[in-house]
Amino acid sequence: MLQQIARNSDDEELRESAFNTLALSEQARGRRQILGALQTLTVGGTVQLLRTVFDCKNKSDTDFATVARREGDPAKNNKAIDEAYAYSGDVYNFYNEVFARNSIDGNGMPLNSYVHYAVKYNNAFWDGSKMTYGDGDGKIFGRFTEAIDVVGHELTHGVTENTAGLQYRGQPGALNESMSDVFGSLVKQYVLRQTADKADWLIGAGLFTSRIKGKALRSMKDPGTAYNDPLLGKDPQPADMSHYVSTSADNGGVHINSGIPNKAFYEVAYAIGGNAWERAGKIWYVTLTQKLTPSSNFQDCANATLEVAHNLYGDGSKEEKAVSSAWAKVKITPKLENSNTIIKQVTQESLY
């Protein structure tokens, strides 16, 4: 309205006054944006959320992507852009609020997302420093930014890369994949305020089109039951170690055998009860960031989680027992090797 007056009014004074008001509003908006951006760059504060979303415009060379949305910019009314932006903020906040972690590297690393990658690309991936999302082909998959746990999963690969460094093949690779599913699911549960018994424990729910007979890509609660479709086949995930899949595909089946540690985590969370990110999540986070190494296998993870639970919650505690039983359910017997190790504080409460 002010613009119309500034342009069209016959009254010179009125035009000038409308123009000045417009200019002041733009300045105020600009100042707020700049202040907002500065705030996020301040070192010393614990919140350094710096997101940029790039539009690949259906090319598969990310070098030619253009900036679509910067930190503090309003919504663009483009679903992939706005979802990548919003969900990466949710993931940042989850790690910051629950584990006092400042971004992927613990040091305010910028979160860069690339959307509309390639044509009908049925995938999303982490390349070591950024996230890339396809739009799906519309027959099997919709866009990959639609599910918050996908964003959580991808960003967690960055956390793993900066901490345990689990190699992306064989058992360490399946463990790497599982960590991404675990924290991807926890982000979703945290945002939805769901307790362990209310969560769906599904990964990638909502990505399939309505044509596909499947509720999600994976189920942490019941590995192997997420989908069964004439075109895609049946969910190949095993639910215990005796069904470990030996294959050369998929870097040794990292997305397949992740079902085993996924199930173990679900069982720990379910047995402890309440919000899964609080105790089960804490045990897993400490394990990932302080105990595991690039070549850790499932047995190493079982042993480490038991040690962590023992040291955080005590000998014979409910949490320690939950961890033992959970791994037993997937046919791995954890061994307590270091019963008195020091664990660095990880939660916000523990800072006070």
Partner 1 sequence: MKVTIERTGGFAGMSTTFSVDDNALNSSEKQQLETLLNKSKFFDMPLKSSEADSKGAADYFIYRITAESEPGKSHTVERTDLTMDSSLKALVDFLESKQN
Show which residues are catalytic.
Answer: 154, 255
254: contact with partner 1 by CB under 8 A: yes
Question: Could you say which of 51, 157, 221, 263 contacts partner 1 (CB under 8 A)?
Answer: 157
Helices 148-162 and 79-99 sit at what angle, rounded to 10 degrees? 50
Cα 7 to its chain centre, rounded Å, is: 48
Show the tokens assigned to 18.
């409308």
Between CA 297 and CA 327 the distance in angstroms is: 13
Query: Which residue, 25 or 60, has its beta carbon nearer to partner 1?
Result: 60
Question: Minimum Å distance from CB 247 to partner 1?
Answer: 9
Question: Could you say which of 204, 224, 281, 334 contacts partner 1 (CB under 8 A)?
Answer: 204
Residues 6+ apart with CB under 8 A from 244: 238, 257, 260
Residues in the chain: 352
Which range of residues in 69-77, 126-134, 264-272, 312-320 is near partner 1 by CB under 8 A? 126-134
Question: Minimum Å distance from CB 227 to partner 1?
Answer: 9
State the pairing for strand pair 131-134/111-117.
Answer: parallel
Closest CA to 40 of 87, 96, 108, 112: 108
Between CA 106 and CA 46 the distance in angstroms is: 10
Between CA 19 and CA 1 the distance in angstroms is: 11
Beta strands in the chain (DSSP E): 51-55, 66-70, 111-117, 124-126, 131-134, 202-203, 218-219, 228-229, 233-234
Question: Could you say which of 175, 256, 269, 271 contacts partner 1 (CB under 8 A)?
Answer: 256
123: contact with partner 1 by CB under 8 A: yes
Query: Which residue, 204 or 261, has its beta carbon nearer to partner 1?
Result: 204
Query: Which residue, 131 or 264, has its beta carbon nearer to partner 1?
Result: 131
255: contact with partner 1 by CB under 8 A: yes
Scan residues 16-35 and list those touching partner 1 (CB under 8 A): none
Which residues lie across from 70 on neighbouring strands?
52
Question: Minimum Å distance from CB 115 to partner 1?
Answer: 15
Query: Which residue, 89 or 165, has its beta carbon nearer to partner 1?
Result: 165
State the pairing for strand pair 233-234/228-229.
Answer: antiparallel
154: contact with partner 1 by CB under 8 A: yes
Closest CA to 105 of 123, 128, 85, 84: 128
Site string for partner 1, 209-238 (x = CB under 8 A): --------x--------------xx--x--
60: contact with partner 1 by CB under 8 A: yes
22 burial level (CB within 10 Å; 0-12, 13-18, 19+): middle
Cβ-contact 245, 159 below 8 angstroms: no
Question: Could you say which of 11, 127, 197, 337 contacts partner 1 (CB under 8 A)?
Answer: 127
122: contact with partner 1 by CB under 8 A: yes
168: contact with partner 1 by CB under 8 A: yes
144: contact with partner 1 by CB under 8 A: yes
Scan residues 175-194 and list those touching partner 1 (CB under 8 A): 176-177, 180
Question: Minimum Å distance from CB 106 to partner 1?
Answer: 15
Would you tell me how many other CB atoms lie within 10 Å of the CB of residue 192?
A: 11
Residues forming the site for partner 1 (CB under 8 A): 60-61, 119, 122-129, 141, 144, 150, 153-154, 157-158, 160-162, 165, 168, 176-177, 180, 204, 217, 232-233, 236, 249-251, 253-256
